[in-house]
Structure 1
Amino acid sequence: MRKCIALLGGSFDPVHLGHLALADTFVQLLQADELRVIPARPWQKSTLQASDAQRIDMLQLAFAASRVPVVIDTQELERDGPTYTVDTLRALRAELGDDVSLVFLIGADQLQRLDTWRDWHALFELANLGVAARPGFSLADAALPPAVVQELALRRASPEQLRATPCGLVSVAPSLAVDVSATEIRSALCQEDKTNALLPSVVLDYIQQHHLYKN
């Protein structure tokens, strides 16, 4: 059977329950063999409040109980200069070969601006896309750029089809509707809101122990 790897990228500053819900939903839908989590470094590095090492620590804690093996892939942190998803997918293809099914996970908010990504058409030559609903961001054609709508019309497929295909397909999970903002979480933590229910408890403990997001 073809190996299937779900890919989850993000700043993870901090990792929260929305990230875990997105990953777990598609791990189940795809019956994925592995989850690869890829922390990013935004071009404006000063926007990050936790260090690379701290973000990796939090990811390891958050995904320790995952139902499949998890790899924290740090290639974007090690790359010099701006890094783009298409570069990461090319590197993964070179590492993993052409036969494995790669499924890059994004939210509806990212789908609405997919046509602004670097070499976005090339993404479909390298991976499948798993798209999750998000409150306030419509997945209807009218809410998406026409070029993205055109691509989706050619590529929509079931999770089972994504699992059996290396790249080029898109599957939408409309039932996932977790509305979590890392910005709001940081604000709550700055105000010392100890009841924050949007973080895994092990991550909240780590944040408090290391006095993160205090300003």
Structure 2
Amino acid sequence: MVEKRRIGIIGGTFNPIHLGHLMIAEVACESFNLEKVIFVPARIPPHKQHDVIDSHHRYAMTAAAVSDNPNFEISDVEMRREGPSYTVDTIQHFKMLYGPNVEFYFIAGTDTIRALPTWKFIEELLNEVHFIGATRPDGSSAIDETLDILGPKAREKIHLMEVPEMKLSATYLRERLRSGKTVRYMLPKCVVEYIEENHIYGKE
């Protein structure tokens, strides 16, 4: 039996993309022997409507951030979709694109894994895709609660991945940008340059 190829998918608002996103994708690629990781910015994220900048800026920043890593790609599948971006539709798109000999691994942080019981079509997703839950050294208990809620299938399809401690969030970074504080070594240099050139996340 031929072993299936493994491809990672990391979706999100990327508002803005930061080094935490890139680190998680890189560690997942190594830890789960992924052929590549595809970044999928959401045009209309269903769970985040507040304080979200225009999708073309978020896409451009993500494209710039992943451009120097040969294991990373970006997809505009959710940029081209009308209405909110649901992961189940995105997974179906990639399954049709790549065929039956690929297993997909959806990469997410602890907060996203904790929220999985509220996702539309979560039962279908657990049949279609593996999840990689990135945890901090002390953060696995939140994912354990999710596994208890979702049942045996989740324990088979949700995998834990410990990542180095990096307390970065897009909300925190937007606050720093708006108050004129440094984001050096928190965002890729190309993303900082894009933000400055396009005058987004302006100072308050």
Q: Same fold (TM over 0.5)?
A: yes
Question: CA RMSD, aligned part only?
Answer: 2.2
1:183 corresponds to which letter in structure 2?
Answer: T
Question: Residue 79 of structure 1 aligns with which residue?
Answer: 81
Identity of aligned residues (%): 27
User: Could you tell me whether the CA contact under 8 Å between 1:108 and 1:131 is conserved in 2?
Assistant: yes
User: Could you tell me whether the CA contact under 8 Å between 2:137 and 2:162 is conserved in 1?
Assistant: no
Q: Structure 1 residues 189 and 135 mapped into 2: Cα distance closer, same or farther (>3 Å)?
A: farther
Distance 2:143 2:36 in 1: 31
Does residue 1:204 correspond to 2:204, yes or no?
no
Q: 1:48 aligns with which of 43, 48, 52?
A: 52
Deviation at 1:174, TM superposition (A): 2.1
User: Could you tell me whether the CA contact under 8 Å between 1:8 and 1:38 is conserved in 2?
Assistant: yes
Say which is worse superposed, 136-145 or 87-96, in terms of deviation: 136-145
2:168 corresponds to which letter in structure 1?
Answer: V
Deviation at 1:145, TM superposition (A): 6.1
Distance 1:130 1:142 in 2: 13
Q: 2:173 aligns with which of 167, 182, 185?
A: 185
The residue correspondences of 1:79-158 to structure 2 (distance < 5 A) are: 79-134=81-136, 137-139=139-141, 143-144=145-146, 146-148=148-150, 150-153=152-155, 155=156
Does residue 1:173 correspond to 2:166, yes or no?
no
Question: Residue 64 of structure 1 aligns with which residue?
Answer: 67
Say which is worse superposed, 170-179 or 40-49, in terms of deviation: 40-49
User: Could you tell me whether the CA contact under 8 Å between 1:107 and 1:134 is conserved in 2?
Assistant: no
User: Could you tell me whether the CA contact under 8 Å between 1:3 and 1:100 is conserved in 2?
Assistant: yes
| Structure 1 unpaired stretches of 5+ | 156-168
State the SS of the aligned residue for 2:40: strand
Distance 1:181 1:137 in 2: 16
| Structure 2 unpaired stretches of 5+ | none
Distance 1:126 1:82 in 2: 20
| Cα offsets for 1:174-197 (capped at 9, x unmatched) | 244322110110010011113443
User: Could you tell me whether the CA contact under 8 Å between 2:17 and 2:62 is conserved in 1?
Assistant: yes
State the SS of the aligned residue for 1:80: coil
| Cα offsets for 1:13-72 (capped at 9, x unmatched) | 1100110011000011122222111001224656312x222222211221122141x331
| Number of residue pairs matched by the alignment | 199
Question: Residue 29 of structure 1 aligns with which residue?
Answer: 31
Deviation at 1:8, TM superposition (A): 0.5
Question: Residue 164 of structure 1 aligns with which residue?
Answer: none
Q: Structure 1 residues 137 and 119 mapped into 2: Cα distance closer, same or farther (>3 Å)?
A: same
Normalising by structure 2, we get a TM-score of 0.87
State the SS of the aligned residue for 1:35: strand
Question: Residue 161 of structure 1 aligns with which residue?
Answer: none
Normalising by structure 1, we get a TM-score of 0.82
| Cα offsets for 1:72-104 (capped at 9, x unmatched) | 111112111222111111111111112102110
